[in-house]
Every structure is written in C-alpha cells, then in structure tokens.
Amino acid sequence: MVTTSLATQVLHPHSAPRPTFTFDPLLRQQLPALGAPSKVLRPICPDFRSGHCPRGPLCPDRHYTPPNERSGIANLICKHYQRGLCKKGVQCEFAHTFNLRDERECKEYSKYGICPQGDDCTYLHVAPNSRLRDPPCPHYTRGFCPLGPYCSRQHIKHPVPCPYYLAGFCPNGRNRPPGPDRIISCEFGAHPKWVKDEDLFPRKPEVRKVDLEAEERAQAEREEAYFVEMERAREREARGEPMLGRWAKGMRRGGVGRRRFDKGR
C-alpha cells in the first residue's frame, strides 16, 4: 500500500488516495452526487450566471456565484422595470416585480401598529408585537428545542439541508445573505450551523408568557402616539409647512387615522 505524507495530502489533495468507509454504499444511495467527479476545475455555467440553467443539478459545469457578484441586490426591485424601461429582461440583477412588500417594511405600521394607507399600503405590514420580531432560538437552530411552540423565541424553519454542505463543501458558498438566525441557504438547501454549549443564550429555553392585557395596553399607547403625530402633522400643514414622506400622502387621502381619531372625540 502506497502511503503519502501529510504535507503532500495538504498541498495536493487530488493526488491523495481516497479513504474508504463502511457507510460509503449508504451515502452513494442517499446522495448520488457524491459519486460524481469533482466540478472544482470545471468552468462556471454561463446559463446559471445569466439567471437560469435548464439542466439544474445535472449540468456538467459549476453553478457558482463569484464573490464580486454576491451583493444580495436580487432582493431589490428594479425601478426601471416599474416604469417599463428595463432593457435587461431576465438578465437584470434586480427583481422584476411590482410587489413592494418583498422589498421593505412599512415604518408607520412597525412603529405604531397603524398605517395611514390601510389595506392600500404597498409595503409589508408586520405588527410591533409579532413573533417575527422575536430573536431566534439557538436551541432550535442547533437542531432541537424541547419547548416547541411554547418557546419564548422564534423557531425559524429552513428547507432540507444542502447535501453538498453536509458532505464537506458547497460550491455556492455564501451566495445568499444569512437569515435572522445567521443560517445561510443555497439553491440546494440550508447550511446548518453548530452552536457550542458555551454560546447558548439563554442556557435553557424559556417558556413564552403571553399577557393579553399588557399587549392591549401597549397597542393602545402606540395608537395614541400615532394620533398625536397625525395631529401635529395637520398643524404643520395648516401653518403651510411642507409635508414630507408618506405622511403627506396619507393626509391628502384623509388617512385612516383621521377617521378613527374623529370617532374617538
């Protein structure tokens, strides 16, 4: 049996003999891609770089995004497309959609729980007390939380794990920004991250305590602050001061807050 030195294995990994294990047949059965030849030396697929490769995982070339192209701007909406002036078509690096709810969150609704545009608002409405604002649970990120739906933290579900990442290396790398729990996902699945015992906070999961009366009081305080801000905006408008931002748009429409405020008088 020919043996190679450790330095040779590190400097020339392709020349080192491949180790064998008793569970190799099971891996080949569950992950057929492991038996395929390496794509490290193959060129990047031009169809994948242009936006879509019809061959998918069966493509002989690499589906890889270079680091200088990983800007995360694909989640931003193309302003030229909204005006009907984008000439790039499917090759545009920005999203072609008219749904602004995928782009950003409504500031008024996230702060006060009320939006002057109501159901006509084109931005995402997430309540101030929504569970989506809870910090992620490190125990669930690690793999298991014994409290389940009663946990005080958010349990973020991901798609199936990436088979290439589980095998040791994913050619896509960090081609997408991480989620709230710092888990990265690629087109093949999620890249699970191990959390050490000393990094767990809290050390034990805590039961979620729901105080409906406290939540109602907090929402009433937010609504009161919203009505006060709307009244100040009307006073500035009466003095002839310029109205900026979405407050001006809501004032021109009469605003949902105005009707609710008048009913309370």
| Segment 210-227, tens digit of pLDDT | 777 888 888 888 888 888
Burial class (CB in 10 A: 0-12, 13-18, 19+), 229: middle
Question: Residue 247: enclosing H or E segment and its boundaries?
Answer: helix 245-252
| Segment 188-201, tens digit of pLDDT | 888 877 777 776 76
- Long-range CB contacts (within 8 A, 24+) of 147-155: 147/205, 147/206, 147/207, 147/208, 150/207, 150/208, 151/205, 151/206, 151/207, 151/208, 152/205, 152/206, 152/207, 152/208, 152/209, 153/205, 153/206, 154/180
In this predicted structure, the answer to whether residue 134 has a pLDDT above a threshold of 50 is: yes
| Segment 86-105, tens digit of pLDDT | 887 766 767 776 666 655 77
In this predicted structure, the answer to whether residue 136 has a pLDDT above a threshold of 80 is: yes
**pTM assigned to the model:** 0.41
| Segment 71-88, tens digit of pLDDT | 555 556 778 887 888 887
Band (pLDDT 50/70/90 cuts) for residue 255 is very low
pLDDT number for residue 145 = 85
Q: Which of 174, 207, 206 is nearest to 191 (CA)?
A: 174
Q: Which domains does the chain have, with CATH numbers?
A: 6-64 (no CATH), 72-103 (4.10.1000.10), 104-121+210-259 (no CATH), 138-199 (no CATH)
| Residue 5 DSSP code | -
